[in-house]
Amino acid sequence: MNIEKVIFSFFIVLALTLNFGFFLGDFDNPEHHNVYELFIVVVVNLIATVLKFGERTQMGAVLLATSLVASLQLIAAVLVWTFAVHINETGVTPSVIGTIVSLAGGALVANIISVVLLVIDISVQRR
């Protein structure tokens, strides 16, 4: 058992599950989407991205790319939230939460790709 692999897989899967948890719920209902959860999703995604820094394999490069996509999508969602609450001061209206959830949904797709790639990588190694 390789402890590095464990940590690596753990964060990739955690990024997906948390992302899915935030995404779950009514699309335009602010009550169903928790700001703490979004924060944790962003942090875990950033960690998952940094963990792939400096990988020279083809798989490592693709995983870095998908994680970067997810992180950027989530940061965009965070920015939308910040704008709505602090700058425009409209609060989290259904239309705002709709935008945030759709951005998080994009990140979810990227995270799913990450996990699928991870599974393929493991099955190819046959060990």
Partner 1 sequence: MKNTALFLILRRMRAPILALIVTYAVSILGLVLIPGIEADGRPQYLSFFHAFYIMTYTATTTGFGELPVPFSDAQRLWVTVSLYISVVAWLYAIGTLIKLLRDPALQQLIGQNRFAAQVRRLNQPFYIVCGYGDTGSVVVRSMIERELGAVVIDSNQDRLNELMLENLPVHVPGLCADAGLPANLSLAGLNHPDCRGVLALCRDDLVNLKIAIACRLLSPGLTVICRAQSHDIEANMESFGTDAVINPFDTFAVHLALAVHSPDLHLLYEWLTAIPGMPLPERLNPPHGTWVVCGFGRFGKAVQRHLEYEGVPTVIVEKEPVKTRAPKNVVIGRGTEAVTLRAAQIEKAVGIVAGTDDDANNLSVIVTARELNPKLFLVARQNYSENDALFQSARLDLVMQRARTISRRILALVTAPLLTDFLRLARHQKPAWAQDLIGDLRPILGGLTPDHWSVSVTEEQAPAVHAWLQAGNTLPLSLLMRDPRDREQHLHAMALLLRRGKEEMLRPGEETEIRPGDTILFCGRRGVAEHQQRMLTEDRVIRYLVSGETRPQGALWRWFARREA
Q: For residue 93, which phi and psi values (nearest 5 degrees)?
A: -85, 165
Cβ 54 to partner 1, closest distance in Å?
Answer: 3
Please state the separation of Cα 27 from the chain's center in Å. Answer: 17
Q: Closest Cα partner for 20 from 82, 92, 93, 108? A: 108
Q: Are 100 and 27 in contact (CB under 8 A)?
A: no
Return the residues of window 63-102 that contact partner 1 according to CB under 8 A.
78, 82, 85-86
Select the residue interacting with partner 1 from 6, 24, 43, 119 (CB under 8 A).
43
Return the residues of window 50-69 that contact partner 1 according to CB under 8 A.
50-51, 53-54, 56
> What whole-number distance in Å separates Cα of residue 43 and Cα of residue 36?
11
| Closer residue to partner 1, CB minimum distance, 11 or 23 | 11
Provide the binding-site residues for partner 1, judged by CB under 8 A. Answer: 35-36, 39, 43, 46-47, 50-51, 53-54, 56, 78, 82, 85-86
